[in-house]
Structure 1
Amino acid sequence: MNKIETLCLLCSQPLQPVISWKMLLTNYFQPTICDKCSARFEHSPTATALYQYNEAMKDYLHQYKFLQDVALAKVFRQELYARFKNEKATIIPISMHPIKQKERTFSHMEELLKAANIPFIQLLEKTTTETQSSKNRVERVQTAPLFRLMVGAHVEHKQYLLFDDIKTTGTTLRHASEILLHAGARNVQSFTLING
């Protein structure tokens, strides 16, 4: 019988398969990157993000989002599962404009949550194809509303948690939060993969 070799999704080095009772009896995911690649990501000191932005994260985002490597959604699934598994708030990933999603072929925020088996709903629709990363700090702060409620969306009077890939000025999260609060949400918090 041939053994299937699993490779690190970032550097293509062979991964040593780990079979344990913990993996078999819990929601423990098989690692998708090697320890060397994992060590390149810097954990965030804040409670509202998993990681800090650095060169390793810049490379990861480029490959995942812009080179459309959807397999990389699995890289942080264990950490995201651990963070969200007991979350009481309804999770809403920050949405992409439909044109951008068609270009990229997948919603990078939704794929991160799917890879970690985290339930979510979508209530927001992006109103512009402009990216915040193409703007300077002043332009980001002064930007027009980025979102609207989806047609037929119903915002309940309860707590929601917005999930985005990176927070720099917080403009995207602020705009999304304002739409939800105005529509009747009791409380809106946010969490990001990366603190910029």
Structure 2
Amino acid sequence: MRWEKEKNWRGVLQRNVSLYVYNAFLKEVLARFKFRGDYILAKAFSPAIQKVLHRTPYDLLVPIPLSSERIAERGFNQAKALADEASLQTTEVLTRIHTEKQSKKKRFERIHDVQIFHVSEQAKVDGKVILLIDDIYTTGATLHQAAKALKDAGAKTVTSFTLARG
């Protein structure tokens, strides 16, 4: 609701669907997955992800990318891992510039940050229904920035799916 009140963000991201509430238990599980490299945890979420995404219409499933620095640090992209382990085909059309971790920023900083995403293949997104996938929706800044880049590149609509919402 807050995003829709901001003129620059109105209509950018149609909606987000999350499987779980980002509670203390899930926070620990996702920390193990993302920050301690426990990649196999992505498999545990596969049946639930498949169930939701197989009944969700989209042309392209786009994982939220990490910067090359963050990939080197973690060894994998958690959004892509969730899709891969659920046997879902992704299309990587976004690139990301390296910035301070979103979790280290305050809400105001996240919302008013400079655009951190770039569409690398505009022809692939033009006129398409895009579904973004990521692990956590907190303030929504990451997903809204990605959606804005895709909409500006000609995407018809952009929605998102996250494992958790906090």
Q: Which category of TM-score, normalised to the shorter sequence, fits these structures?
A: 0.7 to 0.9
1:53 offset after TM fit, Å?
0.8
TM-score, normalised to structure 2's length? 0.85
SS in 1 for 2:32: helix
Q: SS where residue 124 of structure 2 aligns?
A: coil
Call closer, same or farther: CA 1:176–1:99 in 2, change over 3 Å.
Answer: same
Which of 67, 77, 82 aligns to 1:107? It is 77
Structure with more helix by fraction: 2
Per-residue deviation, 1:150: 2.1
Deviation at 1:139, TM superposition (A): 1.3
Q: 1:135 to 1:96 in 2, by over 3 A?
A: same
Match of 2:104 among 129, 134, 140: 134
2:35 alignment counterpart = 66
> What does residue 6 of structure 1 align with?
none
- For the residues of structure 1 that align with 2:121 and 2:48, how far apart are their CA atoms? 33
- Alignment coverage as a number of residue pairs: 151
Shift of 1:170: 0.8
Partner in structure 1 of residue 66 of structure 2: 96
Q: Greater RCO between the two (CA within 8 Å, min separation 6)? A: 2
Q: Structure 2: which 5+ runs fail to align?
A: 1-14
Tell me which residue corresponds to 1:154.
124
Distance 1:153 1:102 in 2: 29
The aligned amino acid for 1:103 is E
Q: Is the 8 A contact 1:99 1:129 kept in 2?
A: no
Instruction: Specify the alignment match of 1:83 in structure 2.
Output: 52
TM-align CA RMSD: 1.7
- 2:20 matched residue in structure 1: 51
Pairwise CA distance, 1:152:
7.3
- 1:151 and 1:158 map into 2 onto residues whose CA distance is 12
Task: List per-residue Cα deviations over 1:147-185 (Å, max 9, x = no partner).
Answer: 011267632212001111111111111110111111111
Gaps of 5+ in 1: 1-45
Larger Rg over CA atoms: 1
Q: Which amino acid aligns with 2:112?
A: Q
User: Using the alignment, how far apart are the partners of 2:87 and 2:136 within structure 1?
Assistant: 20
**TM-score normalised to structure 1 length:** 0.73
Cα pair 1:77 1:115 within 8 Å, conserved: yes
